Structure 1
Amino acid sequence: MSDIPPKKLIIPYIPDEICLEIFKRCDAKTLRNIKATSRCWRQTLSSYEFVSEVATSWKSKGCSLISHFGFSKTLNSSKDWVLNMDPVYGEATKIDLPMLTPGNGWFRIVGVENGIFLFRFSSTGDRSYLLVWNPAIGSTKAIPDPPRHYCRKCAFLYLFAYFPNSVNYGIVHLYKRDQREKTWTLTLYSSAEQNWLVNVSCPEYVRTLDPNYVSLDGVMYWMNWRENDRDTSPTFIVSFSMLTFEFGQIFVPAEATANYHGLMIHGGKLCLGAVNYDHERYSCTMWEIDSLGETPSWNKLLTYDGYGHPYLLSMFIDGDVIQVLEKYYQVEDLPDMTHTINHITRWSPLGKTQYNLKWMEFDNFVRMRSLSTYYESPFPVGG
């Protein structure tokens, strides 16, 4: 070893503008470490301008499909599992969840947006919690679940969406103070205020929420829920603005009526999928709803047919359609012998081509409880 001391290296001064350009090219772990160096960098790297630009560049890596599976005979169970699936090749890996649900615990994915998951879960089966999670940067935030909900079976009384041009998100919760009440009350959690501050009485046509909701520019949309099979009221879409706290209705025209409807966002516009099906075959039509207002215009995008029972209406990824079909089998003489097949396909409307993305078989009644798209992003979980 030499006894000559090493020369001191003089680190040159780098302007903040140059540092920001360097940080925009860093991975998630590096960004997390940089945030821990000072309050100034934590605020700068958590700003909407920075995280939205980084999230846009990370989208070039592609997205993945997040699917939540569970046994259909059990509404809430700690035995459920979540898969992260490649939307091109169908490769799937199990996700290690950020919370524990042992024994009689359970969980639900309320929503996935801007690379952020919102879970509702319980470790004991009685009291539930809300958890926001960004798996890319490995951060979580617990949010108090409003104790107003009276029914543990109401697993989909929550909506999750981001405010426009903001790192802050909102969580909508519908509840009744008493089961005998005819109208619902809506409360809104804002990550900016860190509290449930808004309480709004819902119109009579708002009966509950739909787990297959969508959000666009701070407005949440979901299909109306029928209380029973004898309900013959017109099919319509309910909207709620997190900015103005106003509700709205969009009635579905006669030419778009079907056995089942579902919503999606495509090309920055609200779309409706209408499915008619029997025991063997289905027909799906996609409608684009333009000029959202008192007299929205409806444009037919595409129509396609298939065999089987669709789990849900399709979702768009890079202009292609992802379709999930479920099929159940049970041997009449052996009631314990059950079988489930989940068939996930990807169809290109332009090329009129379709290929098998994933084929899964289970020796039980298994349901796909939810399906979401996920893009990695550095969005903070605390607003």
Structure 2
Amino acid sequence: MSDVPPISIPLPELPDELMLDIFHRADASTILNARSTCRSWRVKLSSYDFQTTLAQRWKHHGCSLLMHFCYPSSLMNSVDWVMRMDASSGYTMPFHFPFLLTYEGWFHIIGVENGILCIRYSSMGKKSYLLSWNPVSRKSKIIQDPVYIFQPDLVYLYALVYFPSTLDYAILYIFKQTSESPSSSLSIYTSFRRNWNVIITCPPYVVTLDATYVTLGGSIYWLTCSVDDDERRSPYIVCFSLLSNTFQQIFIPRQALAHCYMLMLLNQKVCLASSTHDEEVFSTSIWHVAVTEEEPAWTRLFMYNGVAPLFTPAIFLDEDIIEIKERHFEEDGVDDSHVSHFHICRYTPMEKTRRTLHWVEYEDNVRIRSLHVYYETLYPV
């Protein structure tokens, strides 16, 4: 054998375009490890273009539904749980948060967007926090709860909204300083400023922030109703734009009025599901509302009905509708004995078919507090 070492030939460097395409096909751990090698790759693999392309590729792998189950009694908030279910197969899997709860603890999911969960929680039932968390990267950030900054008398929930074409998000918080205050106030936390310094006085028609809001293009939409007339509550949509910091009131036309409503997104369009029902049949219409600075335009996209208790339309997934039929029974002859049924279906309007994803039964009085669509990403917190 020769003692002469072999001649080393430097390997040609791959262009960045090819390297990024390789990373687009890599798993999360490979990307996270590559980020820690040097500053150059940390910048490249954390850019908006890379993150959005990666999210689109991962989106084809499917998504999950996060269902927050709870008990009506506030004394049992610590035993709330979240079921993660595959939106195609209905297969369920465990889902654990990065915090612990004592007997007096509780949590609420504020919103889920771009793979980021925003959660309000209290481990011991006393001081509460907001948490921004990415389950894939396992990165999290604790945010001060504005309740302890403004100390309001009335709190009207929170919301998570992303700025368009960025990796930055905002958390909205609507409150009343005192119960006698003539109007509500809106405070905004942003991921780049990291404070609650932005405070906006809301117009009179903004009286609450509904938990079933939807977001699109840096704007948030939620349903509320007029409380001036108790006999006839007039429903309308409130829109708030992050870019202009302005509100807009959108009235629901007479032809779209029904018993119950749900805002949803279909192909990047704001839609309203209006449903009428009785004990035997139900009918649901899907309306598209084109929001403009002038008069919004309403168009009915399609309508479907059935002979059964109401399947509540909860959320659009691609071209399908995720529906939930929630039923509660009391067993005869047994005191305080309840049974809760949850039937989760995926309805395809084009084929007019309904496929069962999951059926679950609990021997207790259980409710669904919220339902969210979750796509895995590596978005920063």
Give the shorter-chain TM-score range.
Answer: over 0.9
What is the deviation of 1:232?
A: 3.1
Give distance in 2, aligned partners of 1:184 and 1:76.
31
Give distance in 1, aligned partners of 2:224 and 2:207.
7
Alignment check: 8 A CA contact 2:75 2:104 kept: no
Give distance in 1, aligned partners of 2:94 and 2:313.
24
Q: Which amino acid in 2 is paired with 1:344?
A: I
Alignment check: 8 A CA contact 1:287 1:301 kept: yes
Which residue number in structure 1 is paired with residue 294 of structure 2?
294
Q: In 2 relative to 1, CA 332–284 (structure 1 residues): closer, same or farther, beyond 3 Å?
A: same
Which whole-Å deviations, capped at 9, do the CAs of 1:8-65 have from their partners, x for residues lacking one? 6855433433332222222111111112222332222222111011111111101111
Q: Which amino acid in 2 is paired with 1:52?
A: T
What TM-score results when the alignment is normalised by the length of structure 2?
0.92
Q: In 2 relative to 1, CA 192–323 (structure 1 residues): closer, same or farther, beyond 3 Å?
A: same
What is the deviation of 1:332?
A: 5.0
Which residue number in structure 2 is paired with residue 113 of structure 1?
113
What secondary structure does 1:335 align onto?
coil
Counterparts of 1:153-302 in structure 2, within 5 Å, are 154=155, 157-225=157-225, 230=230, 232-302=232-302
Unaligned runs of 5+ in 2: none
Alignment check: 8 A CA contact 1:148 1:176 kept: no
Give distance in 1, aligned partners of 2:62 and 2:316.
13
Q: Which amino acid in 1 is paired with 2:258?
A: A
Alignment check: 8 A CA contact 1:290 1:297 kept: yes
What is the deviation of 1:335?
A: 2.6
Give distance in 1, aligned partners of 2:367 and 2:228.
22
Give distance in 2, aligned partners of 1:37 and 1:180.
57
Unaligned runs of 5+ in 1: none
Paired residues, what number? 378
Q: Which amino acid in 1 is paired with 2:300?
A: K
What is the deviation of 1:309?
A: 4.3
Q: In 2 relative to 1, CA 41–332 (structure 1 residues): closer, same or farther, beyond 3 Å?
A: same
Which whole-Å deviations, capped at 9, do the CAs of 1:117-145 have from their partners, x for residues lacking one? 11110112121111111112221111111
Which residue number in structure 2 is paired with residue 122 of structure 1?
122
Alignment check: 8 A CA contact 1:76 1:107 kept: no
Which residue number in structure 1 is paired with residue 330 of structure 2?
330
Q: In 2 relative to 1, CA 136–152 (structure 1 residues): closer, same or farther, beyond 3 Å?
A: farther
Give distance in 1, aligned partners of 2:68 and 2:345.
17
What is the deviation of 1:315?
A: 1.6
Q: Identity over the aligned pairs, expressed in percent?
A: 39
Q: In 2 relative to 1, CA 137–173 (structure 1 residues): closer, same or farther, beyond 3 Å?
A: same
What is the deviation of 1:227?
A: 5.0
Which whole-Å deviations, capped at 9, do the CAs of 1:151-177 have from their partners, x for residues lacking one? 7995x6101011000000011001121
Which residue number in structure 1 is paired with residue 344 of structure 2?
344
Which whole-Å deviations, capped at 9, do the CAs of 1:219-245 have from their partners, x for residues lacking one? 000001555981635311001011111
What secondary structure does 2:60 align onto?
helix
What is the deviation of 1:178?
A: 1.6
Q: In 2 relative to 1, CA 35–76 (structure 1 residues): closer, same or farther, beyond 3 Å?
A: farther
Alignment check: 8 A CA contact 2:154 2:177 kept: no
Which residue number in structure 2 is paired with residue 308 of structure 1?
309
Give distance in 1, aligned partners of 2:76 and 2:209.
18
Give distance in 1, aligned partners of 2:365 and 2:228.
25
Q: Which amino acid in 2 is paired with 1:370?
A: S
Q: In 2 relative to 1, CA 135–152 (structure 1 residues): closer, same or farther, beyond 3 Å?
A: farther
Cα RMSD over matched residues? 2.4
Give distance in 1, aligned partners of 2:165 and 2:75.
36
Alignment check: 8 A CA contact 2:342 2:361 kept: yes
Alignment check: 8 A CA contact 2:154 2:178 kept: no
